[in-house]
Amino acid sequence: MSLLRISRLHRRMIRALRLCQAYGISRLQTLAPSGSRVVELDALRGLAALAVVAFHYTTHYGNEVGHVGPPPLSFGFGNYGVNLFFLISGFVIFMTLERTRSALDFVVSRFSRLFPAYWAAILFSAAVVYTIGMPSQRLPWEEVALDFTMIQEILGGEHLDGSYWTLQVELFFYAQMLFWFMLGQLHRIRWIIGAWLVIAVAHGFAEQHHTPVSYTLSELLIVRHIPYFAIGILFYRLRTRPDARLPDIALIGACLLAIMFAYKPVYAVVAVVCTAIFALFALGYLRGLRWAPFAFLGTISYALYLLHQSIGFSLIWHLEHRGVSSGLAALTAAIVVTALAVVLTFLVERPAMRWIRRTWKAHRERAAQRAAS
């Protein structure tokens, strides 16, 4: 793609994004988040998780294992729900850090959110896999133990549940953002995003020309996914800083261009769709997602994502080999893992998160009292 064509595409994107302003983006001032949760984003996370489940139980299972009978309907597009996750994380993590007083507060917050449910999900999944699961799912126990780190892939291990790969990506994004927070550089996030885009494009160029690239470095910098996180950050800035929106709109256009240049064409389409969804959210057109069922789906979305693949594949395999049709087996697996997700959310994730955060808050207050005395 020539530089002239890239320049023209960028100008067109900027004009398109500016149209949002003409049709109401000034409303962002009245939509600034007042609480720590944004219900629409939770609901979007739930819908994205549901899309991933549908993809795995139909298309992915058929490709990786093979349905015994006629396959159910295909939901190939559901695979790209993870890209929407990354936009949501960019928005939420930047919002969290802007409200965080110390690095340890952030670490405790993220640990309490991620790890108790994740560790319980590994135990749940292992219990199913090693009883009714496929032999190919049963990793050596030392591999399962490595999964508890959440960074097993970069350590050379395998995932008990194939969906866990995104958790490493998320964790490295948190680490990057915490690094910039500790350096006091979040107010320079536009420059940081600019650097991310340069690295992403350089990495894409190197891969296209078969130039060797350090696997470890590319994973640590999450170069294949960082533009999606950047778009989420920029939408948070648009939501909270509407008076300084034009540079952020231009950077969203640059993110889309970087994805077009560095990745396969389908990812550019995914990025445009995700950006359009976020634009609708920013303009206040997704308030219908506050409906209780959507909000509940958002509440259990993390547990659903953690549990669905290994357990679901085990159930589908088990049921299909006992004469159940592929469609009914997939539906049964979805119902079972949703029920397990509810259990994991309300008996493990929520209580553990509250206990850890309450304990940390009490410790911090005691430390402050000792320092004051």
Percent of the chain whose predicted confidence (pLDDT) is above 90: 68
Q: Which pLDDT does position 243 carry in this prediction?
A: 81
Q: How far apart are CA 97 and CA 105, in angstroms?
A: 9
Check if the beta carbon of residue 86 is closer than 8 Å to that of residue 275: no
Question: Which range has the worst mean pLDDT, 137-141, 173-177, 211-215, 312-316?
Answer: 211-215
Q: Which pLDDT does position 74 carry in this prediction?
A: 81
List of residues 6+ apart from 68 with CB closer than 8 A: 320, 321, 326
The single residue listed with the structure tokens 């890239």 is: 6
Asked whether residue 23 carries a pLDDT value surpassing 60, the answer given is no
The residue that leads in pLDDT, 186 or 73, is 186
Q: How far apart are CA 325 and CA 331, in angstroms?
A: 10
Asked whether residue 311 carries a pLDDT value surpassing 90, the answer given is yes
Check if the beta carbon of residue 329 is closer than 8 Å to that of residue 73: no
Q: Which helix (H) or strand (E) holds 151?
A: none
Three-state SS for 12-72 is HHHHHHHHHHHCCHHHHHHHCCCCCCCHHHHHHHHHHHHHHHHHHHHHHHHHHCCCCCCCC
Check if the beta carbon of residue 72 is closer than 8 Å to that of residue 326: yes
* Distance of alpha carbon 157 from the chain centroid: 21
What does the pLDDT look like over 90-113, one tens digit per residue? 999 999 999 998 999 999 999 999
Q: How far apart are CA 330 and CA 309, in angstroms?
A: 11
List of residues 6+ apart from 128 with CB closer than 8 A: 310, 311, 314, 315
Count CB-CB contacts under 10 A for residue 221: 18
The residue that leads in pLDDT, 241 or 149, is 149
Ranges of each domain in the chain: 3-364
Mean pLDDT (the chain) is 88
Predicted confidence band of residue 8 (pLDDT cuts 50, 70, 90): low
Q: How far apart are CA 47 and CA 81, in angstroms?
A: 8
Question: Which range has the worst mean pLDDT, 67-71, 139-143, 298-302?
Answer: 67-71
Which of 76, 51, 82 has its CA nearest to residue 61?
Answer: 76
Predicted confidence band of residue 12 (pLDDT cuts 50, 70, 90): low
Q: Which pLDDT does position 11 carry in this prediction?
A: 56
Average pLDDT for 198-216: 87
Predicted confidence band of residue 250 (pLDDT cuts 50, 70, 90): very high
Q: Record the pTM.
A: 0.87
Check if the beta carbon of residue 42 is closer than 8 Å to that of residue 295: yes
